[in-house]
Amino acid sequence: DTEVTQTPKHLVMGMTNKKSLKCEQHMGHRAMYWYKQKAKKPPELMFVYSYEKLSINESVPSRFSPECPNSSLLNLHLHALQPEDSALYLCASSQDRTSGYNEQFFGPGTRLTVL
């Protein structure tokens, strides 16, 4: 299984809502990533988990809260978002972050719209 799955595919939420994005992989990868991508822009790294520990937080606002319950699952909890947070949120995984080799497998993404 070389697939990263993400749910939901689409999400519309108000600025006062709380929602969560979910990501799952069963490739035995020990590094997992959250990215944000705006239209016609490159993916921007938000968070990196390595061996289920948060290793990188790219100065992301606290209204985004990541969680890694186990080595296969990654969540992104959303609260009090702003309209400018509307974007495609991509999850990715890779074998690990220590070898230097960095082939990342991406999920299809969650298209988030904040009203």
Partner 1 sequence: GQSLEQPSEVTAVEGAIVQINCTYQTSGFYGLSWYQQHDGGAPTFLSYNALDGLEETGRFSSFLSRSDSYGYLLLQELQMKDSASYFCAVLGNYGQNFVFGPGTRLSVLP
Residue 102 beta carbon to partner 1: minimum distance, rounded to whole angstroms: 5
Of 12, 15, 56, 115, which lies in the binding site for partner 1, with binding defined by CB under 8 A? 56
C-alpha atoms less than 13 angstroms from C-alpha of 55 in its C-beta half-sphere: 13
CB within 8 Å of 58: residues ≥ 6 apart: 44, 45, 46, 47
Identify residue 54 by its one-letter amino acid code: L
Q: Which residue, 65 or 108, is less far from partner 1 as judged by CB?
A: 108
Q: Which residue, 33 or 49, is less far from partner 1 as judged by CB?
A: 33
Which three-class secondary structure state does DSSP give residue 60? coil
Residue 74 beta carbon to partner 1: minimum distance, rounded to whole angstroms: 15
Residue span 79-108 as binding mask against partner 1, x where in contact by CB under 8 A, dash where not: -----------x-x----xx-xxxxxxxxx
Hey, what are 14's tokens?
Answer: 């108000």
CB 30 within 8 A of CB 50: yes
Q: Which residue, 22 or 79, is less far from partner 1 as judged by CB?
A: 22
